[in-house]
């Protein structure tokens, strides 16, 4: 049986694991129990009624969190010539082409988000085995394959969060930090849920959103009532 720390036991006091709370109640409970010595990440987990093994049930997208993510992302950009210069001026942490390909191909991933201009995808596509499993492969659907590298970098640095459903039908993401105000976290949760709702694939049948829970890095999970985030019934 897994060892449960005293901190976790204390944080779990007052949380009814069977109850579904409103999003405001859940945020208050999670934020008040994030007492670690570092600024804990507030994490949202959504169970979806999809089987991502089927192409028409894949869920992925990007959402700009209105309150920001609280993370400082390191951004890599595959570009050449004027676009590479634009990327550097816009604040990209790493910019390159064949040279960056060689670094990444060795497994050296010193960044959190990868952006590429369309002309570079022939090269970047060969990094599928390295970037794919990490969810970092540039994709036009989430705005990371684009000629507008300046906007893509701005979005990545400003709180844009990519999401992609995992094998078990779960979408997870950080939606802020414990140091955020309750209102800021609520706004981020609502925006994230709304984006996942809008990303519902054509092959999804029956109940799309099954369960939503919120937690901090070191704290207990708190269930959120689907109706409180506009996902009630969730056959939408």
Q: What is the CATH number of the domain that holds 101?
A: 3.40.50.790
Measured CA to CA, the distance from residue 159 to residue 18 in angstroms comes to: 32
pTM value > 0.85: no
Residues of the chain with pLDDT below 70 are 1-12, 14, 231-236
Q: What is the pLDDT of residue 206?
A: 84
The reported pLDDT for the residue numbered 236 is 44
In a domain, 235, yes or no: no
Helix (H) or strand (E) holding 95: strand 94-96
Residue 41, domain extent? 6-68+161-229
Give a yes or no: residue 1 inside a domain. no
Counting the structural domains of the chain, the total is 2
As a whole number of angstroms, the distance between CA 98 and CA 219 comes to: 43
């Amino acid at each position: 049986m897994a060892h449960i720390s005293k901190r976790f036991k204390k944080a779990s006091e007052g949380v009814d694991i069977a109850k579904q709370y409103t999003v405001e109640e859940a945020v208050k409970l999670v934020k008040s129990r994030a007492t670690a010595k570092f600024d804990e990440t507030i994490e949202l987990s959504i169970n979806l009624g999809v089987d991502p093994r089927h192409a028409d049930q894949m869920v992925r997208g990007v959402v700009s969190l209105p309150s920001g993510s609280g993370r400082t992302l390191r951004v890599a950009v595959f570009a050449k010539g004027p676009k590479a210069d634009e990327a550097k001026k816009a604040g990209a942490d790493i910019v390159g082409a064949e040279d960056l390909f060689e670094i990444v191909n060795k497994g050296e991933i010193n960044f959190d988000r990868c952006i590429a201009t369309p002309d570079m995808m022939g090269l970047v596509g060969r990094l599928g085995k390295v970037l794919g499993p990490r969810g970092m492969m540039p994709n036009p659907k989430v705005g990371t394959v684009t000629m507008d590298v300046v906007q893509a970098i701005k979005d990545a640095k400003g709180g844009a969060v990519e999401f992609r459903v995992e094998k078990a039908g779960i979408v997870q993401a950080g939606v802020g930090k414990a140091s955020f105000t309750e209102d800021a976290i609520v706004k981020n949760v609502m925006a994230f849920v709304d984006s996942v709702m809008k990303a519902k694939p054509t092959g999804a049948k029956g109940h799309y959103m099954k369960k939503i829970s919120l937690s901090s890095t070191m704290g207990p999970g708190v269930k959120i009532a689907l109706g409180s985030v506009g996902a009630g019934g969730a056959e939408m």
